[in-house]
Chain A
């Protein structure tokens, strides 16, 4: 404990702040992951089935989804935070705080996740889809029983990637008033020259990232039967 006090003189006195900030980061990440996960998954599946040669080929819908994803992904997240502040105010009632941060986080990460899902599902062998069609499977069965089942290992790997980049975004959102470890690292650690607070915040984020990576890898390996 004395070692901790020696190298993190300011951080040890802020145990409560760190607990709260970690909670806020996990809260933002979890809620965004659920909302953006559902939206991104839906768009990703939409892209795969409507793409040229897909099971519900539809040029118009594919192009609309494709353009939306590209557009949202082109806006730098820091600018997105500011640009959609009015929208956030309408949805949440305020543009400041942890819950308010979730709106730009969803808009920032859902298109990224959609692209990841699209890529993961594109790996599913076209021949397997055809085999399912040949035994009389319809689009719903093919989506849920072939695409999502066959692509599961890749979906898990993409989800891990998205989650980690999401934590990156929460830190950014935190820095401009969203709370969480990012807020602590910048507004306390960096602004007050309490470098140990910044380092501590970074270490906690690293632990969260490593944990997600580890669990994801284990899960992906568990469902992967390709080799």
Chain B
């Protein structure tokens, strides 16, 4: 991963006027994507993330701001120059957008017509289909394929012009979880093998978690938080980001269950429900044993989860700690000194973190 910026969006505004109504879809957004990044843009539908990335290949012209891709000012290009620039920016879509009247091979070869000879085109299409693992479907039509296969065809088509950037606009949102994982794995592989820079728009933090190295969270047309994946996941600043992460790590569901149960747990004075969060190396320390040995504090694990993000483990534990009140305080101090984040949970407070 280099630090060379391949996409630079500066102060992008996109405003739509529709039947007398003005909608500010994107407000003063700046975004820099480096070569080799897999940059996730997360947000609920209507947050403006699709509009924002469509500015990159000028499928959407911004109302204000500047767009630089590969050192080229995209907004100043003539339509002919824009078409050439677009060949270096592949794009895949939620609904695949394949041509129903063409075979798989013809769909993949579509961008190459007039650019390569018939023979070279055939070779290239065969290579691309091999790359996405669909060689045997070359003569089929899109209607005969499953959703995941269609998206693979769309990826092959997007790669036909050897782009340096691939924009994925909710490309996995119409797919089941297993297929989603396989498509994400393919994107990751293309990123590694071809050095492809990927901009991944999604409303699912799970997708970001699996492959992105950086993430931006969008709300109401603005990027409210951004950073590298591990720091966003370990120390989210905004409630919306926290919400996305909790959904992705399924902590929300766990907390809900635990809180429902907690009432029946009847926690006494000497018991405390806490959430422990740890990043990286601290995962390896035998924490629970240490707490017992040092402070005689017993930890009952109600929920545990470890995510591996960018090769960095990120752990979450929800435990009931029991012990003398002063020993408990000492135990928490010990955890904090070991770089573990502690959140005290109150089962009677129905507001889930």
Contacts and interface: CB of A to CB of B under 8 A. Distances in A.
Nearest to B57: A134
Nearest to A152: B101
B17 to A, nearest CB: 12
Interface string A11-54: 00000000000000000000000000000000000000000000
A133 interface: yes
Contact of A127 (B80, B83, B89, B95): B95
Contacts of B154: 131
A87 interface: no
Given A132-B110, A150-B99, A225-B141, A137 B91 contact: no
Contact of B101 (A132, A134, A137, A225): A225
B86 A133 contact: yes
Nearest to B58: A133
Interface residues of A, number: 24
Nearest to B111: A135
Contacts of B84: 136
Interface in A84-137: 125, 127-128, 130-137
B99 A146 contact: yes
Chain B CB within 10 A, most for which of A127, A134, A145: A134
A134 B86 contact: yes
Interface of B is mostly: mixed
Interface in B119-178: 141-143, 154, 157-158, 160-161
A128 B83 CA distance: 16
A135 B90 contact: yes
A225 B142 CA distance: 8
A131 B93 contact: yes
Contacts of A125: 95, 97
A33 B86 CA distance: 40
Contacts of B98: 128, 131
Interface of B: 57, 59, 79-80, 83-87, 89-91, 93, 95, 97-102, 110-111, 113-114, 141-143, 154, 157-158, 160-161
Interface of A: 125, 127-128, 130-138, 141, 145-146, 149-150, 152-153, 223-227
